[in-house]
Amino acid sequence: MCNLYSLTRSQDAIRAIRKAMRDKTGNLAPGSIFPDRPAPVIRKADGGDEMLMMRWGFPPLKAPGPVITNVRNTTSNFWKGWLRPEFRCLVPVSSFCEYTDATPKIAHWFALDDSRPLFFFAGIWRPWTGVRGTKKEPIEGEHLLYSFLTTEANEVVRPIHAKAMPVMLTSEEDCDRWLNAPVDEALQLQRPYPADRMKVVAFGKGMTSDQPNDLVLT
């Protein structure tokens, strides 16, 4: 389960890929992204795509409980309504983290290559009213929330985390398909990313960034 990823590319880089897009994020600070924190997300809007900040994690199935950051079972009635095109989104990513299933827990960062070029998670979003944020700084009101799809782990991810990996989109065609296609066609993208087109770019203990001091670069 991916509960940590990084976005180190600029807003200009994201806009260059998605082309004519309204940017409502303000000054975007690249870095590591954790559950229940705001992060940039791209969704469809009148007149084209727009990028805006949303908070990572759907509300739990039963409260109290952890937010739902990853979606695997897309046949569940709980998710069917949010899989319609108007609730799909793209989550910009440079790399994502998975920890080893066995102890000691070693963080491994995965990217397309060592330069960590931009790609996207296949995401869904929803409006929600309630309290989010930390116990110290709760934020009550209306929120825009997102989560993203996972699928079977490929040969690169499986030795580290056998259960699943995020659904990764790299081509303009696949991104447009995810945002616009009918549900059955869009869900064909819920598949492992080709193992020969990605790699482990860093690993280490207790890492919260893809380039910390105690990191081993591959």
Q: For the chain (length 218 residues), average pLDDT per consecutive 10?
A: 90 86 85 93 90 94 85 91 96 96 89 96 95 78 95 97 96 96 97 98 75 44
Q: CA-to-CA distance for 104 and 72, rounded, in angstroms?
A: 26
**Who contacts 133 (Cβ-Cβ below 8 Å, separation ≥6)?**
36, 139
How open is the CA angle 175-180-186, to the nearest 5 degrees? 70
Nearest to 189 by CA among 173, 205, 203: 173
Structure tokens at 102: 């066995």
What is the pLDDT, as a whole number, of residue 217? 40
Q: What is the per-residue pLDDT for 102?
A: 82
pTM for the whole structure: 0.92
pLDDT of residue 34: 93
Helix (H) or strand (E) holding 71: strand 70-71
